[in-house]
Amino acid sequence: MHEYTAIAHPNIAFIKYWGNRENDLRLPANGSISMSLGALETRTSVTLLPELISDELELDGSLQSGSALERVSIFLEIFRSISGRHEFARVVSDNSFPQSAGIASSASAFAALALAASHAYELLLTERELSILARRGSGSAARSIPSGFVEWHRGSSNDDSFAETIAPLDYWPLWDCIALVEDQPKKVGSTLGHQLADTSPLQSARLQDADRRLDLCRKSILEKDFAKLADVIELDSNMMHAVMLTSCPPLMYWSPLSVEIMRQVSGWRTGGLEAAYTLDAGPNVHVICSADARPRVSHQLSEIQGVLDVIVSPVGGGAFLIPH
């Protein structure tokens, strides 16, 4: 049987996705905007094997069972039902970065899996259709199908909640300098976290203001206006973490070191350095910066006591299939 291999990059959200209006289909409560991270990748191979009696998953060299395998198997079931094929699959996936460290490995994982599986099950899909399917594995995976700067539309149903490029990867040479504060998997994963969003009294205010932030962010990218972008991405990250902190039970993803880094980055910007922070569902701090600022930002981050490592990434492309 033929093996299909796809590569996808994780993405960092400038305007965050937090909360679903429909959990099974992962229909988001709000639209979101992100940048693909070209230096990091997940490589996934899918082979359909008629002799298998269930799906198999090997992740970073170790055979999986339990919830990780179950999640992949539920996802592959969608491809089997659309294609009308019944074979189970062997899935082999490797990440070039630590898993579940707040670098959204599920985004690149489900984007690469969606692309490889669509070929294995012989489905000829458009980028939009692939983004919709990737979304069913992990919401943010919808944004790891297209290239460059990407917007995921909230949509009104399964068929129009997809992500597309709003500016190509070479449009604006921004960088993400990721200060690794912890390299352990997070305690509460985002699938569960999304379900708690509505328990926060702040979520409705966050959603009411989402279109305004999306407009500001889209405009600041198109106009390459760093000062405007910085203000809106820090505001949006703080609003998502305010919802997390006030949900029931509360989720606190920040560590004292995350807070220290956020304060320092704001200070650097006041001093003229083009840098802004944003954090996903983990303590690591993503510092978005201009090409000019990148050497100083990565050096200054690495000098902060307790920072384990600084991973640096330019804007990346979309998911692609590797020819065999």
* Interface ranges with ligand PMV (CB under 6 A): 13, 16-18, 32, 104, 106-107, 138-140, 190-191, 194, 280-281
Strand-by-strand arrangement of the 163-167 sheet: 11-15, 32-36, 149-152, 163-167
Nearer to ligand PMV among residue 83 and residue 191 (C-beta): 191
- Which tokens sit at 269? 């910007």
CB of 53 vs ligand PMV, minimal distance in Å: 30
> For the residues of 153-167, what is the DSSP string, one character each?
---SSGGG--EEEEE
> For the residues of 53-107, what is the DSSP string, one character each?
SS-EEEETTEE--HHHHHHHHHHHHHHHHHHT---EEEEEEEESS-TTSSS-HHH
How far is the C-alpha of 243 from the C-alpha of 18, rounded, in Å? 9
> For the residues of 3-30, what is the DSSP string, one character each?
EEEEEE--EEEEE----EEETTTTEESS
Element (H, E) at 149: strand 149-152
Nearer to ligand PMV among residue 32 and residue 64 (C-beta): 32
CB of 271 vs ligand PMV, minimal distance in Å: 29
* First vs last C-alpha separation in the chain: 13
CB of 295 vs ligand PMV, minimal distance in Å: 27
CB of 138 vs ligand PMV, minimal distance in Å: 4
Nearer to ligand PMV among residue 186 and residue 269 (C-beta): 186
Nearer to ligand PMV among residue 16 and residue 213 (C-beta): 16
Nearer to ligand PMV among residue 139 and residue 318 (C-beta): 139
CB of 105 vs ligand PMV, minimal distance in Å: 9
CB of 194 vs ligand PMV, minimal distance in Å: 6
Strands 88-95 and 56-59 come out as parallel
Q: Are 156 and 162 in contact (CB under 8 A)?
A: no
How far is the C-alpha of 251 from the C-alpha of 117, rounded, in Å? 34
Q: Are 20 and 194 in contact (CB under 8 A)?
A: yes
Nearer to ligand PMV among residue 4 and residue 71 (C-beta): 71
Nearer to ligand PMV among residue 3 and residue 198 (C-beta): 198
CB of 320 vs ligand PMV, minimal distance in Å: 20
